[in-house]
Each structure stands twice: as C-alpha cells, then as structure tokens.
C-alpha cells in the first residue's frame, strides 16, 4: 500500500484497478494523470531519449539493487525471463474517469454488502480485534472500515479476478514510468528484499497494478518497515489470515498517523449557521456544545475534553466535527472523502446508523437486491455487467455508463443507484 505521505501517486491510484472491490477513481486521479502527462511531456522535450529495451534495463538495474543489499542470486531468481506488465503504465495515463459527487462516493463504498460482511467479520474476528485494541488502542470500527474499503474484507473474488503478479508490474513502472521513476525503483527493490528475507515468494506476491497487496493493501515499503508477525507463525504477510495485516495496519495508524487511544474519529453534528459560514478553529467538544453544536443523533459527546475541528464538505449537507483519529485515517490515504468513507463504513459495521442529514441532490444507497436488479436489467439490454452479484465493480460501472450515454443521460457517471433503477423499471 502506498503510505508515504510525500507520494503523489497514492492508494487511490493503486486501488482503482480493483474493480471487484468497487473502488472507483477519485477526482484527483485525473489531476494526477494530467500532472504526470505534463511532467513527462516536459521531460521528453528537454531530454529526448529512447527507452532502452526491458532486458537491457534489467541487466543494468541489477547494480542499483545490489547496492541496496539485494544479492545476485535473489535478483536473478526474480527477474530472469520476466516480461513487464505494462498495465500500470497504461492505467496511470489512461484511467477511465467516473466523476462522482461525495454522496455517490460514499454510497459506492458504504454498501449493503460491505456492511453485512463487516458485521460478520466483526463477530468472526472479535478476539483479534480485542487484542489489537489492547495492544494499539485502535478501534475495531476503524480497522473494519479500512479492511472493507481496501479489499472488501479480503474477498477471494477480488484476489482471483482483479489481482496480478506484482513484480512484472513494479518492474514495468521502474523501467518506463518517467513521472516518479525513483519511487517505483525503490518499491521494486523493497519487494526484492521481502523475497530475500524469505517472507514471501514472487508467486505469492499478487496485487494491484501498482503493487498494493493483501487485506489492507500494503505496498512493499510498508510490508518491509511496518509489518509485524502478529499471529506468530514465523513470517510477516498481508495475505492469508488477517492477523498480520490488521495488526500492522493498527501499528501504522499509531506510528505514522498518531492515532489516539479511546478517541472517536468524530461525529455528524447540527451546526448553527453562523458557525457553518466561517472558518472555526479546533475546540473541545465541550466548547462546541456551548456554541450550540450538538450531535445529529441527539446523543452526548462521550469525551467532552477531546478536540475536534468543523467540516461541512458540501453546502447544505451533513456537518461534522473531526477528531484527531479522522486525520490518522488520512495518513493511510490523504483523501478526505476516503477517510470519511472508512470511518462511516466502520461505524455501520459496528451498529452505527446512516447520516441523519442528507446530501443535497443525493440518493440513499441501493440495497444488494436493487443492485442485482440493475445488473439483470442491464444484462437483458445487452450491457455486460460482469455478472449479477449485488456488487458494483468496474465492469458494472462501465455498463451503466454505456447505458447512460446511449440514453442521453447526463452526467454519464457510471453510478448504479436507485434513480437509475427507477428509469430502467420504466423502460426509459
């Protein structure tokens, strides 16, 4: 997983390849793509060079890998006969763009299927979550939210249908991606070190086109430097039982995100208009209460001395007070929308309710049965949704987008919601 704060290609880029997990492209990817194109264009204008053949690059890169501690035996064990997987090179510059509003972004991630599955995982791994809470102070809700958004709780269909060997992908990016070449080369070397230490094999290391792997989508750097053997089986792995993945993710949130034991990420609130219109500084919940800010569900703030800052993401929509642990989640991915989806999904998986205030122009999230009906109706019309499973992956989104374009629906955003279902039912 891409967890380095300075990285301009983040988990959002890595996970856009995981269609089965219904991870969609964020608006910033288009900006990142544009920056990448412009940077590459300028670079080639100043230094017009021809890309050397891959096999020649592999031979030359051995010296850089050996300088970082990779043995010749490890290097050739992994790199001999490799064919670069250029999916990532294409994906960075040619991502299909699905523009989405925040309510759509949340509905696509805080789904009926994920909530149900998360509730099951909470019961199944209750002892593991309790242990992590004792050791690190990270709440089960936050870990469930991350696990659900990152890999749909390690769903095998994601692994089977949307993952690929990471070494050919990382090697292709290290060889030919001009925008952040040093970053990709470093991650390739990190992956080689994991094999050298005997923690994994090239065959086991499968993930997204950017090299993110396992339950909580580790990039090699995090596997190497943050991962822990939490189930004491003699190796550190993001695959298989979720112990190492969830324990290590909790450690990351504490070490790099400064997660605070016992604090909630924040709350949906009702905020007086005078406060909503201005820029307010962080205050304690007790201070916010004195200013007339209360929880939207009417409950009391359980830790009144904790501090939080206000956030109204969309005028006329829900308002929030965000505590320190919301920003700890952002250390995992710097997108504020991502952090809200993780926190809200975690709350729903542990018994929380939907937001009280609706987003303007928004719809409620469709149920699994409604998504299945959308998929059946689109399939009957000749659009390939990739099957009927009640989950919206990239193929379903593309089918929706194709239907919208043919029907003249604007925007053609690929969103499979209750409004689209009503139109399909009416034969429009």
Across 5-9, 95-99, 257-261, 268-272, least confident range: 5-9
Does residue 173 carry a pLDDT above 80? yes
Does residue 61 carry a pLDDT above 90? yes
Residue 327 CA: distances (Å) to CA of 239, 251, 322? 27, 15, 8
18 near 41, Cβ under 8 Å?
A: no
Q: Where are the domains of the chain?
A: 11-97+164-235, 266-322, 368-425
Residue 7 CA: distances (Å) to CA of 24, 77, 90, 334, 335? 19, 29, 19, 10, 13
Does residue 279 carry a pLDDT above 70? no
- Rounded to whole angstroms, how far apart are CA atoms 194 and 105? 34
29 near 17, Cβ under 8 Å?
A: no
Residue 359 CA: distances (Å) to CA of 33, 105, 278, 317, 330? 29, 12, 20, 4, 22
329 band by pLDDT with thresholds 50, 70 and 90? very high
- Provide the token pair at 284: 């304690």
- For position 50, what pLDDT does the model report? 57
- Rounded to whole angstroms, how far apart are CA atoms 344 and 312? 15
- Rounded to whole angstroms, how far apart are CA atoms 385 and 400? 8
- Sign of the CA dihedral running 385, 15, 228, 116: negative
327 band by pLDDT with thresholds 50, 70 and 90? very high
55 band by pLDDT with thresholds 50, 70 and 90? very high
- Rounded to whole angstroms, how far apart are CA atoms 376 and 257? 43
- Rounded to whole angstroms, how far apart are CA atoms 231 and 209? 28
Q: Which residues contact 267 (CB under 8 A, 6 or more apart)?
A: 295, 296, 301, 308, 320, 321
Single pTM value for the model: 0.85
355 band by pLDDT with thresholds 50, 70 and 90? very high
* Secondary element (H or E) of residue 425: helix 418-425
Count CA atoms within 13 Å of residue 30 on its CB side: 9
Q: Regarding the domain delimited by 11-97+164-235, which CATH topology (the fold level of the hierarchy) does it fall under?
A: Helicase, Ruva Protein; domain 3 (1.10.8)
233 near 17, Cβ under 8 Å?
A: no
Q: What is the mean pLDDT of residues 413-418?
A: 94
Residue 52 CA: distances (Å) to CA of 39, 58, 175, 198, 315? 20, 10, 9, 32, 52
302 near 291, Cβ under 8 Å?
A: no
- Rounded to whole angstroms, how far apart are CA atoms 299 and 320? 14
- Provide the token pair at 152: 């749909």
- Provide the token pair at 196: 């050298």
- For position 5, what pLDDT does the model report? 34
Q: What is the mean pLDDT of residues 246-256?
A: 97
Q: What is the mean pLDDT of residues 272-296?
A: 87
Q: Phi/psi zone of residue 160: left (φ > 0), alpha (ψ -120 to 50 degrees), beta?
A: alpha
| 134 SS3 class | helix
Residue 232 CA: distances (Å) to CA of 241, 268, 359? 11, 39, 46
- Rounded to whole angstroms, how far apart are CA atoms 292 and 310? 13
- For position 87, what pLDDT does the model report? 87
């Amino acid at each position: 997983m891409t967890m380095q704060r300075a990285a301009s290609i983040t988990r959002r880029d890595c996970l856009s390849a995981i269609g089965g997990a219904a991870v969609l492209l964020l608006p910033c990817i288009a900006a990142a793509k544009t920056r990448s194109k412009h940077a590459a264009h300028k670079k080639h204008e100043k230094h017009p060079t021809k890309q050397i053949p891959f096999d020649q690059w592999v031979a030359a890169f051995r010296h850089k890998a050996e300088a970082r501690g990779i043995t010749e035996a490890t290097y050739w064990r992994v790199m001999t006969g490799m064919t670069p997987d250029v999916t990532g090179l294409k994906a960075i510059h040619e991502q299909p763009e699905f523009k989405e509003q925040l309510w759509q972004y949340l509905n696509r991630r805080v789904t009926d299927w994920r909530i149900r599955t998360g509730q099951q995982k909470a019961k199944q791994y209750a002892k593991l979550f309790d242990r992590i809470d004792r050791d690190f102070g990270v709440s089960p809700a936050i870990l469930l939210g991350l696990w659900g958004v990152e890999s749909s709780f390690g769903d095998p269909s994601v692994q089977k249908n949307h993952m690929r060997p990471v070494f050919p992908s990382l090697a292709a990016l290290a060889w030919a991606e001009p925008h952040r070449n040093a970053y990709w080369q470093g991650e390739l070397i990190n992956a080689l070190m994991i094999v050298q230490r005997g923690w994994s094999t090239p065959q086991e290391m499968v993930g997204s086109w950017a090299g993110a792997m396992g339950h909580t989508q580790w990039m090699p750097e995090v596997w190497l430097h943050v991962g822990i053997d939490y189930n004491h089986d003699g190796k550190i792995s993001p695959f298989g039982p979720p112990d190492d993945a969830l324990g290590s993710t909790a450690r990351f949130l504490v070490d790099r995100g400064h997660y605070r034991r016992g604090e909630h990420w924040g709350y949906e609130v009702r905020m007086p208009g005078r406060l909503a219109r201005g820029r307010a500084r962080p205050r304690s919940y007790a201070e916010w209460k004195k200013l007339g800010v209360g929880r939207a569900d009417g409950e009391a703030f359980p830790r009144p001395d904790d501090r939080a800052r206000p956030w109204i993401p969309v005028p006329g929509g829900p308002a929030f007070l965000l505590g320190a642990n919301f920003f700890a989640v952002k250390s995992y991915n710097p997108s504020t929308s991502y952090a809200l989806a993780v926190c809200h999904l975690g709350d729903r998986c542990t018994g929380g309710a939907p937001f009280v205030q609706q987003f303007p122009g928004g719809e409620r999230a469709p149920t699994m049965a409604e998504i299945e009906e959308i998929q059946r109706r689109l399939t009957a019309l000749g659009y390939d949704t990739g099957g009927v499973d009640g989950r919206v992956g990239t193929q379903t989104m593309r089918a929706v987008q194709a239907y919208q374009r043919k029907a003249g629906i604007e925007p053609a955003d690929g969103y499979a919601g209750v409004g689209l279902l009503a139109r399909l039912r009416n034969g429009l």
